Amino acid sequence: MELRPYQSQAVEAVYDFLRTRDDNPCIVIPTAGGKTPVMAAICRDAVQLWSGRVLILAHVRELLEQAAEKLSIVAPDLPVGIFSAGMKRRDLGYAVTIAGIQSVYERACNVGHVDLAIVDEAHLIPPDGEGMYRTFLADVRKINPLLRIIGMTATPFRMKSGTICAPENILNEVCFQISVRELIVQGYLCPLRTKAGTLKPDTGKLPVRGGEYVAGEVENLMDDENLVRSACREIVEHTQDRRSVLIFASGVRHGQHICHVMAERNKVECGFVCGETLPFGRNDLVRRFREGKLKYLCNVNVLTTGFDAPNIDCVALVRPTLSPGLYYQMVGRGFRLHPGKTDCLVLDFGENVLRHGPVDQLHASPNNGHGNGEAPAKECPQCREIIAAGYATCPQCEHVFPPRQRQRHAPTASSDGILSDQTTKAKHEVTEVFYNVHLKSGAPPDAPRTMRVDYRIGFNEYVSEWVCFEHTGYPRHRAAQWWSRRSNEPVPTSADEAVELADGGALAPTLAILVEHKAGEHFDRVVAYRLGDKPPRLESEEDLPEYVATASDDEVPF
């Protein structure tokens, strides 16, 4: 298995961290972004290059199975054992042991000496106390005080305590991170669209315990007959051209109610699984769902972490949550690519997107959902699409939002122009640039396309511009000028050609941009650039950059 470029970068980042520091790193890769191949590559190198013993820890059977499968592909000759009560295995003494934390946490002595422990879903490690992970890792460290620990997660935070990495925690620093947006732009994750439900539940008075809504109260609220009927009707209406719809309910009674209404009023079959579903029944429903023989599948707290069904092209959230991690895990079921799948539709009946914001901009907040700050997302009143709060025009139906009303006394001075024709400009260092073919929403298929250029100027901040190679007249002239400043290659004739050349290294790097904001206008403009040197001509395909997963074997990294 050949690693993707960012997966190779993650592996090298871990080795650099282990060689140069004496604490423990964390890798952050989104759901469906491929954490398991990274884990498998590290295990292979640790055993075959450095003669180490590795332990992989996870909390659900699906993650253990995925790790075993990827290891058999990446390193088929590697001795691998599994220690899991759920899988009826008690393998010990192997170079790599894949273990369920529930099965192994009191058996550190049985596991014995370990050089490297890799924790999947590492956000489950508590910052303090005596949980299973902390208890087990402390016992293993007594056997080998030089134990190194690597965390892997898609959400590097806990709702109550914030970031999982800190000097005093088991994991100390993120050594590699890539965002959902970057992987969507690069074509490794499926784009998402979101629509809100017509009827809104009143979550304002729901009691909160431990940072989350009280489960029974949430179910009582969401199990209202009108809410269920409205949600089921809209799920069926919006999924006429969808193939696999995963529904998240607020409780067992609520989930059964949804399935009943789907069958009786909407005349469609909807499967149901929960923690009480017998294994045979659950496996049969999941198999039919994955094979496309069952379109609708409703679940309660089951099909989240580790559930892999790439065919899912719609996720319906019929439950509100204050947990950004749970929200991310539910939505993340639709991230995977699949033949014939162009995007994944998220139907949100619990106002979760409005509460937490886009999945690529999540962060831990002690008062999530109850704060007084600006909402991270908003709903279009015309098409009910849920979009990031910064949009002035809906990208789906092009509805124009009214200008934002500022507070009478803002906490900080505004840099916006006071009159409509005044402008402000700001310089931004650019950390990465992404290129993509773009067709305007609602345009006919044969309309001219553009090359969309996304400049990353912060952790999750981007500025975009559109270069019009397929247009005529002045837009084409501007595109030719833009290209000639950056490349020695001939000016492309199509957006596809431009993106292919840009991704192949034909453009000078953009080091910084000057962004102009004009009061009253919907979009900011990039008006100046600081560029690096133009690259030499690409003579042939052999000049395109290659990405190979390599590891230096001249120095043991742990």
Point out the least confidently predicted range of 39-48, 86-95, 239-248: 86-95
Q: pLDDT tier at 21 (50, 70, 90 boundaries)?
A: very high
pLDDT at 439: 81
Q: pLDDT tier at 410 (50, 70, 90 boundaries)?
A: very low
Half-sphere CA count of 399, side-chain side, radius 13 A: 15
Q: Which range among 121-130, 199-208, 518-527 has the greatest average pLDDT? A: 199-208
pLDDT at 518: 66
Q: pLDDT tier at 59 (50, 70, 90 boundaries)?
A: confident
pLDDT at 75: 83
Of 216 and 401, more confident? 216
Half-sphere CA count of 274, side-chain side, radius 13 A: 13
Determine how many CB atoms are found less than 10 A away from the CB of residue 220.
Answer: 15
pLDDT at 357: 79
pLDDT at 550: 40
pLDDT at 556: 53
Domain covering 5-179: architecture: 3-Layer(aba) Sandwich (3.40)
pLDDT at 344: 93
Q: Are 127 and 163 in contact (CB under 8 A)?
A: no
Residues 6+ apart with CB under 8 A from 393: 399, 400, 401, 522
Give per-residue pLDDT as tens, 226-264. Answer: 999 999 999 999 999 999 999 999 999 999 999 999 999
Domain 190-388 CATH assignment equals 3.90.550.10: no
pLDDT at 194: 87
Q: pLDDT tier at 369 (50, 70, 90 boundaries)?
A: very low
- pTM over cut 0.95: no
Mean of pLDDT over the chain:
84
Q: Hey, where are the domains in the chain?
A: 5-179, 190-388, 423-543
Q: pLDDT tier at 521 (50, 70, 90 boundaries)?
A: low
Would strands 245-248 and 296-299 be described as parallel, antiparallel, or unpaired?
parallel
Of 360 and 245, more confident? 245
Residues 6+ apart with CB under 8 A from 438: 449, 450, 451, 452, 466, 495
**190-388 matches 5-179 in CATH topology:** yes
Give per-residue pLDDT as tens, 166-190. Answer: 898 999 999 999 988 899 889 999 9
Point out the least confidently predicted range of 42-51, 213-222, 449-458: 449-458
Distance CA 325, CA 334 (A): 15
pLDDT at 408: 36
Average of per-residue pLDDT across 405-433: 54
Determine if residue 255 is left, alpha or beta; phi over 0 gives left, psi from -120 to 50 gives alpha, anything else beta: alpha
Q: pLDDT tier at 540 (50, 70, 90 boundaries)?
A: low
Average of per-residue pLDDT across 209-235: 93
Check whether 271 has a pLDDT greater than 50.
yes
Q: pLDDT tier at 544 (50, 70, 90 boundaries)?
A: very low
Two tokens, residue 405: 């009303």
Check whether 152 has a pLDDT greater than 90.
yes
Determine if residue 162 is left, alpha or beta; phi over 0 gives left, psi from -120 to 50 gives alpha, anything else beta: left
